[in-house]
Amino acid sequence: MSKHIPRKRFGQHFLSDSHIIDAIVSGIAPVAGEPMVEIGPGLAALTQPLVERLGHLTVVELDRDLAQRLRGHGQLTVIESDVLRVDFAQVARDMNVPKVRVVGNLPYNISTPILFHLLDYVDVIQDQHFMLQKEVIDRMVAAPSSGDYSRLSVMLQWRYAMENFLFVPPASFDPPPRVDSAVVRMVPLADPAPVDVKLMEEMVQVAFSQRRKKLRHTLGAWLEGRGYGGEFDVQRRAEEVPVADYVRLALELKPAAG
C-alpha cells in the first residue's frame, strides 16, 4: 500500500510514538463493547489499539484516501465527512445507545470549532479525550485571573470537568508540528446549570472582546441594552470573573432570551 502523504490543508500530523499511544489508550481506558467515535483516525495509530480493546469503532474521516483505506478494516464503521457536519445525536441513535465516548487527534487548525460543535451534542456524550495543541488545552483548563483564561475557558468549564493529563512533544508526530501538544479529558457535568447556550456564548464573547478593558465598556453596555437591572460588578476585567459568575448572570438573563 502506498505511503500516505500528509495534507497540509487538513492539518495532518500523524502520531507515531508507541509509548505516547500506549499512554493515551491507557488514559481513555476503553472497555470491550463500548460505543466509541474517533475523530480523524488518520493512519490508525490510535484506531488500531482502540479497536483491539473495543471490538468495534466508528470513525469520522474527511480525507477521501484515508477513508477508503479505513473501509478495508472489518471492525470499523467509517463516516466520511467533515466532523463539523456530523450529527452526533444521530450517530448515537444509529448505534442504538444513549451516549457515546468521543476521542481524537483533532486537526489544530479547526480544534476550537470542533469543541463548540460537540457542545451542541453534549447530552449524548459520555466523555471526550482529545489530543490538541497544548496552548489550546492551557486555555481550556485555565483558572480566572490567569493569562490563559478566555472565552474558551468559560464556555467549556460551565459544562465539563476537564483535565490535561498528558504532554505530547512534537517528535511524537510525523511530520513534527511546530507546537507542543497535550491530551485533555473532558467529562460532561452531571447537573449543569440550565443556561441558554447561545445567550451565554454571545455574553462571553462580548465580555472578552476587549479583555484589557473593564467590563463596563463592553458587557456593561450590552447588559444595559438588554434592560438588565440586577447586580453584576462591571468594574472587573473579563478574565477576573469566575465561571460561576458568568453562569449566574446568564441564568438571570434567561427570561429575556426568548
Listed by start position, the domains of the chain span 8-188, 197-257
- pLDDT value of position 12: 56
10 within 8 A of 41, measured Cβ to Cβ? no
- What are the pLDDT digits (tens) for 33-59? 999 999 999 888 899 999 999 999 999
Say what angle helices 47-54 and 18-28 make with each other, to 10 degrees. Answer: 40
Is residue 51 packed enough to be buried (19+ CB in 10 Å), middle (13-18) or exposed (0-12)?
Answer: buried
Neighbouring CB atoms inside 10 A of 241's CB total 23
Assigned C-alpha cell, 223 = 447588559
- Around Cβ 19, how many Cβ atoms within 10 Å? 8
- Name residue 18's amino acid: S
- For domain 197-257, the question of CATH label 2.30.42.10 is answered with no
How much is the pLDDT for 211? 86
Distance CA 197, CA 187 (A): 18
pLDDT digits 0-9 by tens, 195-211: 998 999 999 999 999 98
Architecture in CATH for domain 8-188: 3-Layer(aba) Sandwich (3.40)
pLDDT value for 56: 97
Helix (H) or strand (E) holding 105: strand 100-105
Biggest CA-to-CA distance, the chain: 66
Over residues 65-114, the pLDDT tens digits come to 999 999 999 999 999 999 999 999 999 999 999 999 999 988 888 899 99
- Tell me if the pTM is above 0.85: yes
Contact 67, 89 (CB under 8 A): no
pLDDT average, residue stretch 18-41: 96
Binding residues for S-adenosyl-L-methionine: 13, 15, 40, 61, 82, 105
- Where does residue 147 rank: exposed (0-12), middle (13-18), buried (19+ CB within 10 A)? exposed
